[in-house]
Structure 1
Amino acid sequence: MHWSRCGGWWGLTAGGLVPALFLPPPDRVLARLAELSTSSFMDATIWQHAGASLARVAAALVTALLTALPLGVPIGLNRTARAALDPLIEFYRPVPPLAYLPLTVIWFGIGEASKVLLITDVVIAGILAIALIALVLELALRAIERRFAGWSR
């Protein structure tokens, strides 16, 4: 964190401009972090919670890659598939992931599956868009290369 921000944070809390209930002072936050790193909070340390979160993110990333890349290649290679599926993707992509939260919880409960699925929803549209763009650019560059291949001689 930038030192001026830390100084501003300390100044706001030390001067009493912001109540500690809304913005606790930095020394109290660091003391609580040290406490949580050794003792448990809801039956786990902060490092165990961080590990569980990273495992969810990794599982969601793998799921998104295994879903988006096989979908993106046919869409990028086939104009008919792109015409059929691109409007659905462009409809889905800008919807905020929190809009899916109630449906995800209703359909999958509050366990690990719903958490991983919600993170997958966040990641999949971006990966699919990147796969499509990369594939279309690759095909365009190959077409340009074929078109101008004889000019260098």
Structure 2
Amino acid sequence: MFGLKKSPLHKFAKHNSVDPGYPHSSSTNPFDSHDDLDGKKALKPSRRTSSEPMLTTQPNPNRGIENQSVQELENYAVYKAEENTKMVNNCLKIAEDIREDATKTLVTLHQQGQQITRTHMNAADIDHDLSRVWLFLVHQPSLSA
């Protein structure tokens, strides 16, 4: 019923390297036009490097949230989203297992109910037959006379 899927956040979790992809100098404002890049290094999509640390625990409270880099906070948000997705998927799997067990239990109870009904009907038929035999024997003239 429910398929296990990857979190939709995977689409948006772009891991950027520390290198912004353009030459950096203290005099250039990264928000200004990049006309000075003509003929120089072209902008490339950035990729996460293996040496870049990934934040897998809560951001350092001693540094304060204001002092955390955006990348650290984004990595932490992605990590927590993936962690929560795993937990939800585990809960979903448990719920599916419970539902499967409940379905099997209902089928078993239904079969037992049908068996009880058949047993009751047979007992009622036997009781009816015994009543007829008893009436027959009670109203029979004595064979000894």
Tell me, yes or no, whether TM beats 0.5. no
For normalisation by structure 1, the TM-score amounts to 0.29
TM-score by length of 2: 0.30
| Structure label with greater radius of gyration | 2
